Amino acid sequence: MTAIDLSSPVAVVGTGTMGQGIAQVALVAGHPVRLYDAVPGRAEAAAEAIGARLDRLVAKDRLTAAERDAARDRLTPAAVLTELADCALVVEAVLERLDVKQQLFRELEEVVADDCLLATNTSSLSVTAIGGALGNPGRFVGLHFFNPAPLLPLVEVVSGFATDVTSATRAYETARAWGKTPVACADTPGFIVNRIARPFYAEAFAVYEAQAADPATIDAVLRECGGFRMGAFELTDLIGQDVNESVTHSVWRSFFQDVRFTPSLAQRRLVESGRHGRKSGHGWYDYAEGAERPEPHTADKERPPAHVTVEGDLGPAAELLPMLREAGIQVREDDEDNGTRLVLPGGGQLALADGQTSVEFRDVVYFDLALDYRKATRVALSASQDTSSQTLTEAIGLFQALGKDVSVIGDVPGMIVARTVARIVDLAHDAVAKGVATEEDIDTAMLLGVNHPLGPFEWSRRLGRGWAYDLLDDLHLRDPSGRYAPSLALYRHAYATDKRESTP
């Protein structure tokens, strides 16, 4: 099944920001486009707004004047639904209410031809449930664009329980013909991105709620150590706290209140207070004119240790060893492989976050996972009240000798980046095992949909197949609520590798 022919009209119902964006994408691709909105005058206003954006594209040399004029000629506001009768595709972008969407598609089904593809841009509702109102749900599919639709390349093509393969394929190929990067997924709460991205927000909020670090410090660690484009607090301020929390609640409820998707009480209080982020002038941060942005916690300068002794290979942090040598710190190797840690001159130990806590051991400082220890500009350390001041001072000085800012946070298992990445990897494996999407499409979706530095499966390959399982298993022992219980899919993934490696 090929993409819808460019000569065939495409309709967009709902002319808000997303509807206008989708219409612009179809229009620039070359289709005649019909705009419909139930509120009189909105379709005409939307057509004018799209025309103005086309003017800006010409000013930026992204569109020629002739292409703009031709696109304008193909754009038609529709006063009634019957004007969409000859459309080959109708994309809905109206209010996120199941009853409203179902009623709209019942009406559309009475208007359009039998071979017209019907699509919803819903981000939080069940595609299956919306399509269930149709006499022929086989031609119904989800086409989830990301805002702003003209700029962001990702489109999740969602097959409902009753969606025909030919319909899904046609929608997929049409999105690709429009210059987008489509990914195919089953109808699951949150689809790909909003399902697998939940831990990025949830774990940051959990660390904050545990009073282990403030928002500015957590954001800085996610950015400067984890390699994420933005931290969770600043990103949700940009998205809108009310919007982000609504999606979280939708996914949580749709999974029958699965503890893995439990919303944040701190975020609930923020929303209740009216602090919705940038759009309200205050969220986690204050956006009033002249307001000072809080600085992340950064440790004072300390003297680096003269030497360290390495036990084991440090796993994902192995790159630290040549870096230490280059910084002039002597690295001694212990002949007995009895761990994966660095022993500091005072006898204290420095270990990569593994889901355990510092308070459990005699004198241990944990350091967080980094996307790239050479490029990272900040590293987080975690210590308990029982950790000696000498050990913490030596650990701070060691990373400062590598040119890193150091943030000391509370004694939380898995720290910040490590627990976040482990949970994202786990949800990704679980999604593949349950037929939601392929590994390749999940990685693509997370890279393009939320700008993660690596896809979950690229993280998994880089960190080792058992890394996420081991960390979550340790976390689960310390928080047996089920939130951190590794999925059966992740267990199988790690165990299968161990079994192969132990086979002669």
Which positions are annotated as active-site residues? 123, 144, 156, 194
H or E element, residue 10: strand 10-13
Give strand ranges (E) for 43-202: 75-78, 89-92, 117-120, 140-145, 154-159, 181-186
CA dist 99 and 91 (Å) reads: 17
At position 38, the amino acid (one-letter code) is A
CA dist 222 and 227 (Å) reads: 6
**Dihedral through CA 373, CA 375, CA 377, CA 379, nearest 10?**
-10
Q: What is the largest CA-CA distance in the chain?
A: 80
Residue 417 vs residues 185, 237, 272, 320, 353: alpha-carbon distances, Å: 27, 20, 28, 17, 9
Question: Burial, 340: exposed, middle or buried (Cβ in 10 Å; 0-12, 13-18, 19+)?
Answer: middle
| DSSP codes, 100-139 | HHHHHHHHHHTTS-TT-EEEE--SSS-HHHHHTTSS-GGG
Which residue in this structure is represented by tokens 């001041």?
389
CB 360 within 8 A of CB 366: no
H or E element, residue 164: none
Across the chain, how many H-helices and E-strands are there?
19, 15
CB atoms within 10 A of CB 190: 25
CB 296 within 8 A of CB 407: yes
CA dist 401 and 308 (Å) reads: 13
Three-state DSSP at 446 gives: helix
End-to-end CA distance of the chain: 48
* Packed helices 417-433 and 488-502: angle between N→C axes, nearest 10 degrees: 90
- Residues, the chain: 504
